[in-house]
Amino acid sequence: MAKKILTRIAFLILFSFLVALDSPVKAACDSSGCNEQGSAFNSCSGTCSDRCWNDVTQYIGGVVVDISDCDSIGGCSAGKCCILWQHWTPECGDCCWSGGGGGCGDPGQPEPLSFSSITSTSVRVSWPAVNWGFENAHGCSEPPDAGIGCGSGNRGYVGKICSGDYCSDGGTLVDTLSCTTNRYWDISGLNSSTNYYVYIWSINTCTCDTRKKDTFATLVCPAVSSPANLASVCPVPGSNASLTWNEVAGASYYHLRVNDTQNNWNGSCSSPNPGDFCADVQSTACSGGSCTYSFTSDLDHDYTWWLDSRNDCGSLSALTVGSPFHCQAIGTITGSVYDSCSCTGTENSPPGWGVMSGFEGGGTCDGSAGCDALACCDIHGNNYVFTEAEYGNYTIFITPPLGWYSICGQSQNITLDSPLAPVADFYFCREPGSWWQAVGASVHAETSVSSQIPSTAADKSLILNGLDGYHGILSYRSGVLPDLGTGGGQVSVGGEEAGSSYLDIDYDYSWWLEHLEDEPKDLSFSGGSLPHPGGEAIYKTSGGPLNISGNVGANEKLVILHDGNININSDIQVINSGFLLVIASGQITIDPSVEFVQGIFIAQNINVPTAGSEDDPVLYFSGSLIAWGDISLDRDRGLAGAVNPPMTFTFRPDFMANAPNFIKMVFYDWQQISG
The enclosing domain of 247 has a CATH number of: 2.60.40.10
Q: What's residue 244's pLDDT?
A: 96
- What is the mean predicted confidence (pLDDT) over 114-127? 80
Angle at 9 between CA 6 and CA 13, to 5 degrees: 160
- What is the mean predicted confidence (pLDDT) over 38-64? 31
578-609 core/surface letters (b: 16 or more CB in 10 A; e: else): bbbbbbbbbbbbbbbebebbbbbbbbbbbbbb
Instruction: Clarify whether residues 295 and 390 are in a common domain.
Output: no
Instruction: Clarify whether residues 132 and 273 are in a common domain.
Output: no
Q: What's residue 201's pLDDT?
A: 80
Q: What's residue 621's pLDDT?
A: 97
Q: Are 149 and 142 in contact (CB under 8 A)?
A: yes
Residue at which a domain ends, from 269, 296, 326? 326
Instruction: Clarify whether residues 404 and 477 are in a common domain.
Output: no
C-alpha to C-alpha distance for 94 and 83, rounded to whole angstroms: 9
Q: What's residue 635's pLDDT?
A: 94
Q: Are 204 and 103 in contact (CB under 8 A)?
A: no
Q: What's residue 357's pLDDT?
A: 46
- What is the mean predicted confidence (pLDDT) over 85-102? 42
For 525-543, how does the pLDDT look when each residue is reduced to its tens digit (9 = 90+)? 999 999 999 999 999 999 9
Residue at which a domain ends, from 297, 326, 355? 326
Instruction: Clarify whether residues 661 and 582 are in a common domain.
Output: yes
Which amino acid would we find at residue 146?
Answer: A
Residue 226 falls inside a structural domain: no
Q: Are 670 and 641 in contact (CB under 8 A)?
A: no
Instruction: Clarify whether residues 311 and 348 are in a common domain.
Output: no
Instruction: Clarify whether residues 385 and 426 are in a common domain.
Output: yes
DSSP E strand stretches across 341-382? 355-358, 364-365, 375-378
Number of domains in the chain: 4
Instruction: Clarify whether residues 308 and 337 are in a common domain.
Output: no
- What is the mean predicted confidence (pLDDT) over 134-163? 56
Query: Any idea what DSSP says for residue 36?
Result: H
Range in 76-80, 276-280, 298-302, 574-578 with the lowest mean pLDDT: 76-80
Q: What's residue 98's pLDDT?
A: 32
For 326-336, how does the pLDDT look when each residue is reduced to its tens digit (9 = 90+)? 887 777 777 77
Residue 280 falls inside a structural domain: yes
Q: Are 306 and 398 in contact (CB under 8 A)?
A: no
- What is the mean predicted confidence (pLDDT) over 83-109? 48
Provide the pairing of β-strand 557-563 with 647-650.
unpaired
Instruction: Clarify whether residues 209 and 145 are in a common domain.
Output: yes
pLDDT band at 348; cut points 50, 70, 90: low
Residue 621 falls inside a structural domain: yes
Residue 37 falls inside a structural domain: yes
Range in 210-214, 294-298, 448-452, 618-622 with the lowest mean pLDDT: 210-214
Instruction: Clarify whether residues 17 and 108 are in a common domain.
Output: yes
* Range among 5-14, 438-447, 549-558 with highest mean pLDDT value: 549-558
Q: What's residue 573's pLDDT?
A: 97
C-alpha to C-alpha distance for 197 and 160, rounded to whole angstroms: 8
Kindly report the number of other CB atoms within 10 A of residue 132's CB atom.
20
Residue at which a domain ends, from 403, 430, 457? 430
Instruction: Clarify whether residues 406 and 319 are in a common domain.
Output: no
DSSP E strand stretches across 204-268? 211-216, 231-233, 240-246, 253-260
Q: Which residue has better confidence, 658 or 422?
A: 658
Instruction: Clarify whether residues 316 and 339 are in a common domain.
Output: no
Among candidate residues 570, 640, 558, the one with its CA nearest the CA of residue 601 = 558
Q: Is the pTM of this model over 0.85?
A: no
Q: What's residue 192's pLDDT?
A: 64
Residue 455 falls inside a structural domain: yes
Instruction: Clarify whether residues 544 and 666 are in a common domain.
Output: yes
User: What range defines the domain where residue 109 resides?
Assistant: 1-221
Q: What is the 3-state secondary structure (H, E, C) of 45-103?
A: CCCCCCCCECCHHHHCCCCCCCCHHHHCCCCCCCCEEEEECCCCCEEEEECCCCECCCC
Indicate if the pLDDT at residue 365 is higher than 50: no
